[in-house]
Amino acid sequence: MAIMTVQQALNDTLGEELARDPNVVLMGEEIGVFQGSYRVTEGLLSEFGPKRVVDMPIAEEGFVGLATGAAMLGLRPVVEIMTINFILVAIDQIVNHASKIHYMFGGQARVPLVVRTPSGGMGQLAATHSQSFENWFAYIPGLKVVAPSTPYDAKGLLRAAIRDDDPVIFIESLPLYSTKGEVPENDDYVLPIGLADVKREGTDVTVLAYSRMTVVALQVAQRLAEEGISVEVVDLRSLRPLDRPTIVESVKKTSRAVIIEEDWLSYGIGAELAATIQEQAFDYLDAPVLRVAGLEVPLPYSEHLSRASKPGAQELTDAIHRVLSGSRNGSYE
């Protein structure tokens, strides 16, 4: 195993796939000469040239539409959107075109497109730059949505996304870019899209999380182990398709569930998870499912208020203690 950051894992994978398949092309704002806002595309322009690593203007709808058409004609575009907040400009191309073309054309055309973008609160960037819209895309049939939390998962899932014949929204987390972890030295390993991962085995309560919240959940689980509380942490990894069997089997084992997500509470990924547990594991529950999420306000610019608006280790710890004590209060708002 090699040790690398999430950023390095993504960069390595892009380089390896560009070298492996001449149909893979990268598109996005400042990904070439500037080498990417988060340095994920560092060095790729000099290695593969401007026809494979293409700098685009500030026109997300235009270049996502271009990438969709290019994918229909045989290329495998990997588009970088600087943050998920800017994906709103291109949402028509993704939701009304890329996701539906294979179905509406009766299987005559496919769209092997990857859209990479970081999501969630990113420091003092205020309300319009700190949102989590991954649930919007997980709602859409025809799209696949993944959200890795480790370098291992980032590399394996990005490779799978690039090789997939369907459009994939690849959710990244800016705070996780610098986190380190083990990555197989096998240059061709792929993680199947649609499989959750039990990151930590436990017996007392299941915590369901994805992306940065998985890291928070693991930190809390380690701390609570010192109190004699055994927390099982399930990392969703894939938001669509959702690995419901792994989720349900974990809850059946522990009989309690807490869900933590960075986005807002209402109508989010957590609501879908809670419904799944209620439908498929209700008889196994010893306490109500609890959800931990961000406060339902536009994220403040103030650093203090920003931190207070986001879910974190203390909120998750409190929820775990409450579910173990049988509290009926079922959410944080």
CATH number at residue 293: 3.40.50.920
Q: What is the dihedral of CA 264, 79, 82, 140, to 10 degrees?
A: -20
Beta-carbon neighbour count of residue 285 at 10 Å?
17
Which CATH number fits the domain that encloses residue 99?
3.40.50.970
pTM above 0.75, yes or no: yes
Task: Give the pLDDT score at 327.
Answer: 55
- Asked whether residue 72 falls in the same domain as residue 99, the answer is yes
Task: Give the pLDDT score at 69.
Answer: 98
Structural domain including 83 reads 2-183
Q: Give the model confidence (pLDDT) of 187-217 as tens digits.
A: 789 999 999 999 999 999 999 999 999 999 9
- Residue 304 is among the residues annotated as catalytic for this protein: no
Count of structural domains, the chain: 2
- Asked whether residue 168 falls in the same domain as residue 205, the answer is no
Residues in Cβ contact with 239 at an 8 Å cutoff, skipping those fewer than 6 apart = 134, 135, 138, 145, 146, 147, 171, 210, 269
Residue of 30, 61, 129, 315 with catalytic role? 129
Residue 191 is assigned to a structural domain of this protein: no
- Asked whether residue 215 falls in the same domain as residue 258, the answer is yes
- Residue 97 is among the residues annotated as catalytic for this protein: no
Residue of 17, 29, 60, 262 with catalytic role? 60
- Asked whether residue 176 falls in the same domain as residue 105, the answer is yes
**Which amino acid belongs to residue 164?**
D
Q: How far apart are CA 225 and CA 243, in angstroms?
A: 26
- Asked whether residue 161 falls in the same domain as residue 210, the answer is no
Q: How far apart are CA 103 and CA 114, in angstroms?
A: 18
Q: Give the model confidence (pLDDT) of 44-89 as tens digits.
A: 999 999 999 999 999 999 999 999 999 999 999 999 999 999 999 9
Residue 82 is assigned to a structural domain of this protein: yes
Bond preceding residue 245 cis, omega within 30 of 0: no
Residue 331 is assigned to a structural domain of this protein: no
Helices marked H in the chain: 6-20, 44-48, 60-72, 91-93, 101-104, 134-138, 151-163, 212-225, 244-254, 269-281, 303-309, 313-325
Q: How far apart are CA 43 and CA 56, in angstroms?
A: 17
